[in-house]
């Protein structure tokens, strides 16, 4: 159990660092009201979780340590659904309804599609 907790914690820390770096790079090069960094992190995180599930499911047993490190830890620390909810709430509160609805719809469609794409691509790894 301790080993699993350490793997999840380490993966989560690395995922959180990558999330911060994505936010930092995005805000450095993109200015606007659209929350691009969270948008990109959720799509990329969904693609990665699809790849990890497909690849690890094919080559490793059910409770392999890499699943805890990469899926639960890294992807859990990297993706940002709670931030997504807060940003949409703020967009709606600031009368940016069109931006909020576009952000919601495209995020949901693209992240689910990215999981499917990642799972599909994992067949070729």
Known binding-site positions? 76, 79
Q: Are 79 and 45 in contact (CB under 8 A)?
A: yes
DSSP-assigned letters across all residues of 81-95 = HHHHHHHHHHHHHTT
Residues 6+ apart with CB under 8 A from 88: 100, 103, 104
Q: Which two tokens stand for residue 53?
A: 């599930």
Q: Which residues are annotated as a binding site for Na(+)?
A: 76, 79
Q: Which residues have CB under 8 Å from 104's CB, separation 6+?
A: 88
């Amino acid at each position: 159990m301790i080993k699993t907790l350490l793997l999840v914690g380490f993966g989560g820390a690395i995922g959180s660092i990558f999330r911060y770096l994505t936010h930092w790079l995005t805000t450095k090069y993109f200015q606007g009201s659209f929350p691009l960094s969270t948008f990109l992190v959720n799509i990329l995180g969904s693609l990665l979780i699809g790849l990890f599930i497909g690849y690890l499911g094919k080559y490793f047993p059910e409770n392999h340590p890499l699943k805890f490190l990469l899926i639960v830890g890294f992807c859990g620390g990297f993706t940002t659904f709670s931030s997504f909810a807060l940003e949409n709430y703020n967009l709606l509160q600031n009368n940016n309804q069109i931006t909020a609805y576009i952000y919601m719809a495209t995020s949901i469609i693209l992240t689910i599609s990215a999981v499917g794409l990642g799972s599909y691509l994992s067949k070729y790894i």
